[in-house]
C-alpha cells in the first residue's frame, strides 16, 4: 500500500506555526505559516504542552494564522512609517488567502492635504495597503523575507472600483487571495471592507524580484 503524506504541525502558543509534510519518513515539503497562536484549542496538546496536529490528508489541515502584529509584519515587508499601511494580520489560511487590517488614525500624514477640513483616506493608499497585504501573503507562501534580498514590487492594478469613502476612525479590513503565479509574477484578487461593506475591489499584480 502506498504511504500517504503525513502532515505534522507543531508550535508553542505565541510562537510561529511550522508545517512539515513527510512521505516515507522523508521530508518533501516545508511550509511556514506565519503568525501567533492565541490558544491551543484547535491542537492536540502533548505532555510537553506543545500543540500539534497530525493527519494523513493535506485537505484536513486547518491551521490558520492569528494576530500577526506590527513588529512581525515588518519582518515580511520592507516598508516603514509613513508608508506602512498594514497594522495587523488577522489570518492567513491554507487557501492562500490573507485577512489584514488598516486603522485610519486622525493624524494620518495623507489626511493633512486630502482634504483640509474634510479628511478622506485616499483610494490610492487603499490600493497600496491591499498590495502590501498581498506582499505579506506572497512572502509567506514562498517562505522568504526581504532580508534575504527579495522584494515585492507592484506590477499592475486592474479592475479597480471604489464604492465608499473612508474617514478617520475607520478600520479597513483587507482581503487578498492568490489567483495565479507564473515566473515570479503573482496575481491577487483583492477587496477592502468597512464594517462588512465593500469599499474597494481590485486585481493586483506583484513581481518577486531581487531587491537591488
CA dist 17 → 5, 14, 36, 64, 189 (Å): 19, 9, 7, 9, 25
Residues 137/130, Cβ–Cβ less than 8 Å: no
Rounded to whole angstroms, how far apart are CA atoms 83 and 80?
6
Residues 103/166, Cβ–Cβ less than 8 Å: no
Neighbours of 120 (CB within 10 A): 13
Catalytic residue among 79, 82, 105, 114: 114
Helices (H), the chain: 70-73, 123-142
Instruction: Give residues with Cβ within 8 angstroms of 107, minimum separation 6.
Output: none
Peptide bond into 61 cis (omega under 30): no
Cell triple for residue 50? 506543545
Annotate 138-165 with b (16+ C-beta within 10 A) or e (fewer): bbbbbebebeeebbbeebebeebebeee
114 is catalytic: yes
Active site members: 114
Amino acid at each position: 500500500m502506498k504511504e500517504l503524506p503525513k502532515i505534522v504541525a507543531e508550535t508553542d502558543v505565541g510562537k510561529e506555526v511550522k508545517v512539515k509534510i513527510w512521505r516515507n519518513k522523508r521530508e518533501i515539503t516545508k511550509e511556514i505559516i506565519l503568525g501567533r497562536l492565541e490558544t491551543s484549542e484547535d491542537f492536540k496538546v502533548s505532555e510537553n504542552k506543545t500543540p500539534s496536529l497530525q493527519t494523513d490528508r493535506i485537505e484536513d489541515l486547518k491551521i490558520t494564522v492569528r494576530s500577526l502584529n506590527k513588529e512581525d509584519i515588518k519582518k515580511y515587508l520592507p516598508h516603514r512609517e509613513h508608508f506602512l499601511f498594514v497594522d495587523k494580520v488577522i489570518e492567513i489560511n491554507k487557501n492562500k488567502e490573507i485577512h489584514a487590517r488598516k486603522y485610519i488614525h486622525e493624524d494620518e500624514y495623507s489626511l493633512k492635504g486630502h482634504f483640509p477640513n474634510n479628511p478622506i483616506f485616499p483610494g490610492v493608499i487603499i490600493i497600496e495597503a491591499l498590495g502590501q497585504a498581498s506582499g505579506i501573503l506572497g512572502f509567506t507562501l514562498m517562505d522568504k523575507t526581504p532580508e534575504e534580498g527579495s522584494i515585492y514590487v507592484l506590477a499592475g492594478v486592474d479592475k479597480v472600483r471604489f464604492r465608499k469613502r473612508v474617514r478617520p476612525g475607520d478600520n479597513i479590513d483587507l482581503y487578498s487571495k492568490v489567483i495565479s503565479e507564473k515566473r515570479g509574477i503573482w496575481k491577487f484578487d483583492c477587496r477592502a471592507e468597512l464594517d462588512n461593506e465593500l469599499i474597494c475591489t481590485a486585481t493586483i499584480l506583484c513581481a518577486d524580484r531581487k531587491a537591488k
